[in-house]
Amino acid sequence: MRNAGPIESPTDPFASVPLPSRGQSKKPRIEGLPPGVSRDIFGPQDQESRPPANQSAPGGQGGGGALPPVPPPPQPWPMSDSNREPAPPPAPVFGRPAGRPEIAEPEPPRKRRLLPGLLVLVALLVVLAYAVPAVLMSGAVLRGTHVAGVDIGGLTVTKAAEKLRVELSAKLSQPVEVDLGGEKDIIQADEAGLELDVVATLNQAPSGFPTPIEVWRGLTGTTNLQPKITIDPAQLTRTVEGLAEGVDKPAVEGRITFDRLRPQVRMPADGVLLDRSDAVRQISEAFLSGRDAVVLALRPAKPTTTRESVAAAAAGARRAVAGPITLTIAGKQAQLAPATIAANLTYVPDGEGGLTPQFDAESALVGVENSLVDTAQQPQDATYQIVNGSPVLVPSRVGRGVDDKRLARDVIKLLAADGGRTIPVTLAAARPAVTTAEVRDLGIKESVAQFTTSFECCQPRVKNIQTMAQNIDGHLVKPGETFSLNDTLGERTVEGGYVEAGQIVGGRMVPIIGGGGAQFATALYNAVYAGGYEEVERTPMDYFDSRYPAGRDAALLHPDRDLKWRNDSEHGVLIKTAVTGTSVTVTLWSTKRYDKIVAVESDKRDFTPFRSERGTAPGCVATIGQQGFTIDVTRVFYNDGQVVKRDKKQTTEYRPRAQVTCG
């Protein structure tokens, strides 16, 4: 179509669709409009769509084949209720009235916005101020901690303990001076058994992770602690016992003995004794509190006898040895000479303030009984004699003898009556103390152990060692029996043949009757040890002596320190002794139970140095210093080359022995 103009794109998507012809009456059926879309968008529905009257078809033709009419100008889509007033805006959530203009909220002040941040920052700084030093201090002793002036703050517990041991040793080793009735003496720390309890001391010190208060104290102040000190009561008691031996003056009881025929009268006298319990308490407190001097109390000791009763007994003692006493039996007689009477007669306290005579009739009869009783009638104990290195049994014999108990009573009656001096005696059955059957069945056939110790000649202690050896020689210990050296020897007295000699008691050399007996006790103990017998009671010496095996010595002091052992075998044990001017030997005869017994010694350890001092007192004894140490000893028993028994380990701690220079 030559004259057709351009086809404009219809606004209405349905405008390009031909409308029905004029002769059609039906309107176009429009279906399927989207919801909310009105039919008005297609124009008025009551008029037919036709071109305007003044518009002719293109090309001047009005018939068929003409182009569709020009669509009307585009119109906006009509909306329902388009003339309704707009709805009011929604009401404000927080109550602003509708229609009122919106008011802008004021901006909060700047300080109010900064305050929460500042608080958080301050809290963080506080936490850091505690946490940082707390972490640095944890695992160590709190900074600023001092023990008796020694700074251990910031150290680990191990290093703090080492520092306390090193730096407090000198401070805690200060001696204490004791006043004993005007006499002065010095007690060293080791003599009191003083030790620093490091564990208890460090338990007082704050450690671990510190609390805020501890952190503040560690940064700004100090913590002062006192050291925890312990005293060994047993050691201090022994030291006090040594002090007492030097100052004690026991009350003197009245007593009458004889020097030949002359009565030796000893009048009663007051004495003084060291109050031992008070001394232990005061010395302990002095060391623990840091005092350097104490005054020890001496208590008076009163005798029970009176001077009047002793004087009356002395007159009777002179009459007692004025002449002999005649003993008679069956036409036989014998006399107890005045010297024999004097040698066996003593006057001792009777417990009621007076003196009473005692007569040893058994000893008095030794020289005269043969005149009254035939030798063939007298009893004889079974014993052994060592002949050519072997024990030979000497059998016992039951007999008859003078009734010594009745004779002792008759002599005392005679002296009290001051009448005739003749006493008829009677015989009584006398059994041997040891029978042959007892000895024969005890298995005493060989030497099972022997030990020898040596000493310097010609000292007073040598006499005491010899006397002990003679009194023990031939003693028989039966199976299951416990032997006590103190009970067997009895109290050491001048009448018993003992003399005064020096002996270490509580760390001090003091003169006592029977001093030096520890050497015989040590010889006996080592024989018992080598024989494999059971130890019951033994006290090691305070100081090591190179003459004895370390850890195998024995102190002896009547009645407190004893040596006891038990014959735990099925055989008897015969004790034989041999003594010279420079040595003592103890041999045990029985039946061997073990092939070999060995003392296994540990290495010496925990050495402690000795101190040096100068002695100026009369009777000063110079000594060579000896360091202290600790040693363990274990007794091991062998049979057929195999260990069959092992004793419990024994630990001995020797104290350092001071070096004393006299001058």
User: Does residue 600 contact residue 622 with C-beta atoms inside 8 Å?
Assistant: no
Q: Specify the 3-state DSSP secondary structure of 615.
A: strand
Read off the pLDDT band of 160 (50, 70, 90): confident
If you ran DSSP here, which 8-state letter would residue 143 be given? T
User: Does residue 141 contact residue 158 with C-beta atoms inside 8 Å?
Assistant: no
- Per-residue confidence (pLDDT) for residue 453, from 0 to 100: 94
Instruction: Please state the domain extents for the chain.
Output: 114-303, 305-379+395-433, 445-662
Q: What would the mean pLDDT of 536-551 be, rounded to a whole number?
A: 92
Q: Which residue has the higher pLDDT, 118 or 104?
A: 118
Is 80 exceeded by the pLDDT of residue 204? Answer: no
Read off the pLDDT band of 177 (50, 70, 90): very high
Is 70 exceeded by the pLDDT of residue 232? Answer: yes
Residue with tokens 């001496």: 298
- Per-residue confidence (pLDDT) for residue 577, from 0 to 100: 94
Region class of 280: left (phi > 0), else alpha (psi between -120 and 50), else beta: alpha
Residue 334 to residue 401: CA distance in whole angstroms: 14
Q: How would DSSP label each residue in 494-522? A: TTTT--EEEEEETTEEEEEETTTHHHHHH
Q: Which of 15-29, 55-69, 216-230, 351-365 has the highest mean pLDDT?
A: 351-365
Read off the pLDDT band of 27 (50, 70, 90): very low
Q: What would the mean pLDDT of 45-72 be, rounded to a whole number?
A: 49
Q: Which residue has the higher pLDDT, 40 or 344?
A: 344
- Per-residue confidence (pLDDT) for residue 24, from 0 to 100: 46
Is 60 exceeded by the pLDDT of residue 29? Answer: no
Residue 407 to residue 142: CA distance in whole angstroms: 84
Q: Which residues, 6+ apart, have CB-to-CB distance to 540 below 8 Å?
A: 551, 553, 554, 555, 652, 654
- The residues pairing with 599 across neighbouring beta strands, listed in sequence order, are 635
Q: Alpha-carbon torsion 335, 340, 341, 345, what sign?
A: negative
Residue 530 to residue 523: CA distance in whole angstroms: 11
Q: What would the mean pLDDT of 588-599 be, rounded to a whole number?
A: 94
- Per-residue confidence (pLDDT) for residue 3, from 0 to 100: 47
- Per-residue confidence (pLDDT) for residue 430, from 0 to 100: 84
**Number of C-alpha atoms within 13 angstroms, CB side, residue 306?**
6
- Per-residue confidence (pLDDT) for residue 218, from 0 to 100: 55
Q: Any idea which of 238-242, 298-302, 382-386, 617-621 has the lowest mean pLDDT? A: 617-621
Read off the pLDDT band of 317 (50, 70, 90): very high
User: Does residue 639 contact residue 632 with C-beta atoms inside 8 Å?
Assistant: no
Strand-pair category, 298-301 with 271-274: antiparallel
Is 60 exceeded by the pLDDT of residue 7? Answer: no
- Per-residue confidence (pLDDT) for residue 133, from 0 to 100: 59
Is 80 exceeded by the pLDDT of residue 106? Answer: no
User: Smallest Cα–Cα separation from 201: which of 261, 270, 242, 148?
Assistant: 148
User: Does residue 599 contact residue 529 with C-beta atoms inside 8 Å?
Assistant: yes
Is 50 exceeded by the pLDDT of residue 47? Answer: no
- Per-residue confidence (pLDDT) for residue 67, from 0 to 100: 57
Read off the pLDDT band of 379 (50, 70, 90): confident
- Per-residue confidence (pLDDT) for residue 55, from 0 to 100: 46
- Per-residue confidence (pLDDT) for residue 167, from 0 to 100: 77
If you ran DSSP here, which 8-state letter would residue 581 be given? S
Q: Domain 305-379+395-433, what fold?
A: Ubiquitin-like (UB roll) (3.10.20)
Residue 300 main-chain phi, psi, to 5 deg: -70, 145
Read off the pLDDT band of 466 (50, 70, 90): very high
Q: Which residue has the higher pLDDT, 466 or 93?
A: 466
Percentage of the chain beyond pLDDT 90 is: 35
3-state SS, 346-362, equals EEEECCCCCEEEEECHH
Element housing 137 (H / E): helix 110-137
Q: Which residue has the higher pLDDT, 475 or 173?
A: 475
Residue 610 to residue 592: CA distance in whole angstroms: 43
Q: Which residue has the higher pLDDT, 116 or 563?
A: 563
If you ran DSSP here, which 8-state letter would residue 376 be given? G
Is 90 exceeded by the pLDDT of residue 569? Answer: yes
Q: Which residue has the higher pLDDT, 407 or 99?
A: 407
Q: What angle do CA 447, 453, 456 make, to 5 degrees?
A: 145
Is 80 exceeded by the pLDDT of residue 183? Answer: yes
Q: Which of 49-58, 161-170, 548-557 has the highest mean pLDDT?
A: 548-557
Helix, strand and coil content of the chain, in percent to the nearest 5, comes to: 25, 30, 45
Q: How would DSSP label each residue in 10-48? A: PSSTTTTSPPPPTT--PPPP---PPTT--GGGG--SSS-
Q: What would the mean pLDDT of 402-416 be, rounded to a whole number?
A: 92
3-state SS, 55-94, equals CCCHHHCCCCCCCCCCCCCCCCCCCCCCCCCCCCCCCCCC
Is 50 exceeded by the pLDDT of residue 65? Answer: no
Is 80 exceeded by the pLDDT of residue 612? Answer: yes
- Per-residue confidence (pLDDT) for residue 40, from 0 to 100: 59
- Per-residue confidence (pLDDT) for residue 182, from 0 to 100: 85
Residue 428 to residue 417: CA distance in whole angstroms: 26
Q: What would the mean pLDDT of 409-434 be, rounded to a whole number?
A: 87
Q: What is the pTM of this model?
A: 0.58
Is 90 exceeded by the pLDDT of residue 449? Answer: yes
Instruction: Give the model confidence (pLDDT) of 84-103 as tens digits.
Output: 555 555 555 445 555 555 55
Read off the pLDDT band of 58 (50, 70, 90): very low
Which top CATH class is 114-303?
A: alpha beta
One-letter amino acid identity for 203?
N
- Per-residue confidence (pLDDT) for residue 380, from 0 to 100: 82
Read off the pLDDT band of 389 (50, 70, 90): confident
Q: What would the mean pLDDT of 581-604 be, rounded to a whole number?
A: 94
**Number of C-alpha atoms within 13 angstroms, CB side, residue 557?**
19
Read off the pLDDT band of 481 (50, 70, 90): very high
Same fold, 114-303 and 305-379+395-433: yes
Q: Please report, for residues 97, 161, 517, the alpha-carbon distance to residue 105 in angstroms, rounded to integers and kept in the order given.
A: 15, 71, 112
Q: How would DSSP label each residue in 585-596? A: EEEEEE----SE
User: Smallest Cα–Cα separation from 557: which of 525, 512, 524?
Assistant: 512
Is 70 exceeded by the pLDDT of residue 54? Answer: no
Tell me, rounded to whole angstroms, the distance of Cα 553 from its chain centroid.
Answer: 24
| Summary mean pLDDT of the chain | 80
Is 50 exceeded by the pLDDT of residue 604? Answer: yes
Q: Please report, for residues 111, 251, 474, 497, 564, the alpha-carbon distance to residue 468 in angstroms, rounded to integers and kept in the order given.
A: 104, 27, 12, 9, 15
Q: Please report, for residues 174, 183, 311, 556, the alpha-carbon distance to residue 239 in angstroms, rounded to integers and kept in the order given.
A: 16, 16, 40, 16
